[in-house]
Protein backbone atom coordinates (compact mmCIF):
# COMPACT_ATOMS: atom_id res chain seq x y z
CA UNK A 1 0.00 0.00 0.00
CA UNK A 2 2.70 2.41 0.95
CA UNK A 3 4.69 3.91 -1.87
CA UNK A 4 6.50 6.61 0.07
CA UNK A 5 8.07 4.53 2.78
CA UNK A 6 8.98 1.86 0.28
CA UNK A 7 12.51 1.06 1.33
CA UNK A 8 13.16 -1.23 -1.60
CA UNK A 9 13.31 1.72 -3.98
CA UNK A 10 16.48 3.48 -4.99
CA UNK A 11 18.33 5.46 -2.36
CA UNK A 12 16.78 8.89 -2.35
CA UNK A 13 18.57 12.10 -1.63
CA UNK A 14 17.88 13.54 1.82
CA UNK A 15 16.91 10.04 2.93
CA UNK A 16 19.10 10.30 5.98
CA UNK A 17 17.54 13.60 6.97
CA UNK A 18 14.02 12.24 6.98
CA UNK A 19 14.85 8.84 8.42
CA UNK A 20 12.88 9.21 11.63
CA UNK A 21 10.01 10.62 9.61
CA UNK A 22 9.98 7.54 7.38
CA UNK A 23 10.32 5.11 10.28
CA UNK A 24 7.37 6.73 12.03
CA UNK A 25 5.46 6.64 8.76
CA UNK A 26 6.04 2.90 8.35
CA UNK A 27 4.85 2.39 11.90
CA UNK A 28 1.75 4.45 11.19
CA UNK A 29 0.97 2.25 8.20
CA UNK A 30 1.45 -0.88 10.32
CA UNK A 31 -0.82 0.48 13.06
CA UNK A 32 -3.39 1.34 10.46
CA UNK A 33 -3.37 -2.30 9.33
CA UNK A 34 -3.75 -3.37 12.95
CA UNK A 35 -6.71 -1.04 13.43
CA UNK A 36 -8.24 -2.36 10.20
CA UNK A 37 -7.86 -5.91 11.51
CA UNK A 38 -9.47 -5.01 14.84
CA UNK A 39 -12.31 -3.33 12.95
CA UNK A 40 -12.78 -6.51 10.96
CA UNK A 41 -12.84 -8.57 14.18
CA UNK A 42 -15.46 -6.34 15.81
CA UNK A 43 -17.57 -6.23 12.66
CA UNK A 44 -17.49 -10.01 12.42
CA UNK A 45 -18.16 -10.67 16.12
CA UNK A 46 -21.46 -12.39 15.27
CA UNK A 47 -20.61 -13.93 11.89
CA UNK A 48 -21.52 -17.58 12.38
CA UNK A 49 -20.62 -18.77 8.90
CA UNK A 50 -17.88 -17.56 6.60
CA UNK A 51 -18.62 -18.75 3.05
CA UNK A 52 -16.09 -21.23 1.75
CA UNK A 53 -14.71 -22.25 5.15
CA UNK A 54 -17.77 -23.89 6.72
CA UNK A 55 -16.96 -22.40 10.09
CA UNK A 56 -17.54 -19.11 11.91
CA UNK A 57 -15.29 -16.11 11.54
CA UNK A 58 -11.90 -16.69 13.09
CA UNK A 59 -10.34 -13.82 14.98
CA UNK A 60 -7.30 -12.29 13.28
CA UNK A 61 -4.23 -10.71 14.72
CA UNK A 62 -1.28 -8.98 13.07
CA UNK A 63 2.41 -9.48 13.75
CA UNK A 64 5.00 -6.83 13.02
CA UNK A 65 8.57 -7.25 11.80
CA UNK A 66 11.38 -4.75 11.39
CA UNK A 67 12.50 -3.63 7.95
CA UNK A 68 16.27 -3.93 7.77
CA UNK A 69 18.28 -2.46 4.96
CA UNK A 70 21.88 -3.15 4.11
CA UNK A 71 23.65 0.18 4.55
CA UNK A 72 26.73 1.31 2.65
CA UNK A 73 29.03 0.19 5.45
CA UNK A 74 27.72 -3.37 5.19
CA UNK A 75 25.73 -3.08 8.40
CA UNK A 76 22.02 -3.65 8.60
CA UNK A 77 20.12 -0.48 9.30
CA UNK A 78 16.67 -0.25 10.82
CA UNK A 79 14.35 1.41 8.32
CA UNK A 80 10.96 0.91 9.93
CA UNK A 81 8.43 -1.81 10.57
CA UNK A 82 5.99 -3.69 8.41
CA UNK A 83 3.18 -6.15 8.94
CA UNK A 84 4.81 -9.57 8.85
CA UNK A 85 1.60 -11.60 8.62
CA UNK A 86 -2.02 -11.72 9.66
CA UNK A 87 -2.43 -14.59 12.08
CA UNK A 88 -5.59 -16.60 12.65
CA UNK A 89 -6.51 -17.04 16.30
CA UNK A 90 -6.72 -20.81 16.90
CA UNK A 91 -8.59 -20.56 20.21
CA UNK A 92 -11.94 -22.48 20.33
CA UNK A 93 -15.19 -20.95 19.13
CA UNK A 94 -17.95 -20.04 21.49
CA UNK A 95 -20.73 -22.65 21.61
CA UNK A 96 -24.31 -21.42 22.04
CA UNK A 97 -27.36 -23.65 22.13
CA UNK A 98 -29.85 -22.19 19.64
CA UNK A 99 -31.69 -24.83 17.54
CA UNK A 100 -33.68 -22.20 15.61
CA UNK A 101 -30.53 -20.66 14.20
CA UNK A 102 -29.94 -21.47 10.50
CA UNK A 103 -26.29 -22.33 11.18
CA UNK A 104 -27.05 -24.65 14.11
CA UNK A 105 -25.62 -28.19 13.86
CA UNK A 106 -27.52 -31.44 14.53
CA UNK A 107 -27.13 -30.91 18.29
CA UNK A 108 -28.70 -27.47 18.00
CA UNK A 109 -25.40 -25.78 18.85
CA UNK A 110 -24.29 -22.66 17.01
CA UNK A 111 -20.61 -21.78 16.89
CA UNK A 112 -19.87 -18.12 17.36
CA UNK A 113 -16.53 -16.43 16.50
CA UNK A 114 -13.74 -16.45 19.05
CA UNK A 115 -13.92 -12.68 19.22
CA UNK A 116 -14.09 -10.97 22.58
CA UNK A 117 -15.42 -7.45 22.10
CA UNK A 118 -13.78 -6.21 25.32
CA UNK A 119 -10.40 -7.50 24.21
CA UNK A 120 -10.84 -5.93 20.79
CA UNK A 121 -11.69 -2.58 22.34
CA UNK A 122 -8.61 -2.76 24.54
CA UNK A 123 -6.49 -3.64 21.49
CA UNK A 124 -8.06 -0.76 19.61
CA UNK A 125 -7.10 1.67 22.36
CA UNK A 126 -3.46 0.50 22.36
CA UNK A 127 -3.35 0.65 18.55
CA UNK A 128 -4.71 4.19 18.51
CA UNK A 129 -2.24 5.21 21.24
CA UNK A 130 0.64 3.77 19.19
CA UNK A 131 -0.63 5.65 16.16
CA UNK A 132 -0.75 8.88 18.13
CA UNK A 133 2.73 8.25 19.52
CA UNK A 134 4.15 7.93 16.02
CA UNK A 135 2.35 11.06 14.93
CA UNK A 136 3.92 12.84 17.90
CA UNK A 137 7.32 11.65 16.71
CA UNK A 138 6.66 13.17 13.31
CA UNK A 139 5.43 16.42 14.83
CA UNK A 140 8.50 16.61 17.04
CA UNK A 141 10.78 15.92 14.09
CA UNK A 142 9.09 18.67 12.11
CA UNK A 143 9.54 21.12 14.99
CA UNK A 144 13.19 20.12 15.29
CA UNK A 145 13.83 20.64 11.58
CA UNK A 146 11.99 23.95 11.71
CA UNK A 147 14.05 25.19 14.63
CA UNK A 148 17.27 24.01 13.00
CA UNK A 149 16.46 25.88 9.80
CA UNK A 150 15.55 28.99 11.75
CA UNK A 151 19.10 28.91 13.07
CA UNK A 152 20.30 29.77 9.55
CA UNK A 153 18.18 32.89 9.26
Partner 1 sequence: MVDGIGGSGAGRAAIEAALKQIRSQAQEMGAKAGGLEEAGASSEASKASFQSVLQEGIGTVEKGVEKTNNLHIDVLNGRLDIHEVAASLKESEITFQFALQVRNKLMDAYREVMRMSV
Binding residues for partner 1, per CB under 8 A?
Answer: 1-5, 13-14, 17-18, 21-22, 24-25, 28-29, 32, 135, 138, 142, 145-146, 149, 152-153
Minimum CB distance to partner 1, residue 38 (Å): 16
Q: Of the two residues 70 and 150, which places its CB atom closer to partner 1 in the complex?
A: 150
Identify any residues that bridge with 111 across adjacent strands, giving them in sequence order: 95
Least separation in angstroms between CB 110 and partner 1: 36
Using CA atoms, how far apart are residues 82 and 64, in angstroms rounded to an integer?
Answer: 6
- Beta-ladder partners of 83: 64
Residue (106 or 146) nearer to partner 1, CB? 146
Instruction: For residue 51, give Cα distances in angstroms to 54, 55, 64.
Output: 6, 8, 28
Name the minimum Å distance from CB 146 to partner 1: 7
CB 50 within 8 A of CB 107: no
Phi, psi of 119 (to 5 degrees): -65, -40
87, β-bridge pairs: 61
Q: Please, what is the minimum distance in Å from the beta carbon of residue 153 to partner 1?
A: 7
Nearer to partner 1 by Cβ, of 18 and 49: the residue is 18
Output the smallest distance, CB 112 to partner 1, in A: 32
**Measured from the CB atom, is 28 or 115 closer to partner 1?**
28
Residue 10: φ, ψ to 5°: -65, 155
User: Residue 55 carries which DSSP code?
Assistant: S
Question: Which residue's CB is nearer to partner 1, number 103 or number 131?
Answer: 131
Check residue 66 and report its DSSP letter: E
Amino acid sequence: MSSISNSNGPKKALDGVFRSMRIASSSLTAERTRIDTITKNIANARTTLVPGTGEPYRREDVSFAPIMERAAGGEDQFMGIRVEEILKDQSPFEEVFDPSHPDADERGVVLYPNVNAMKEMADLVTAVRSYEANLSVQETFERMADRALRLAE
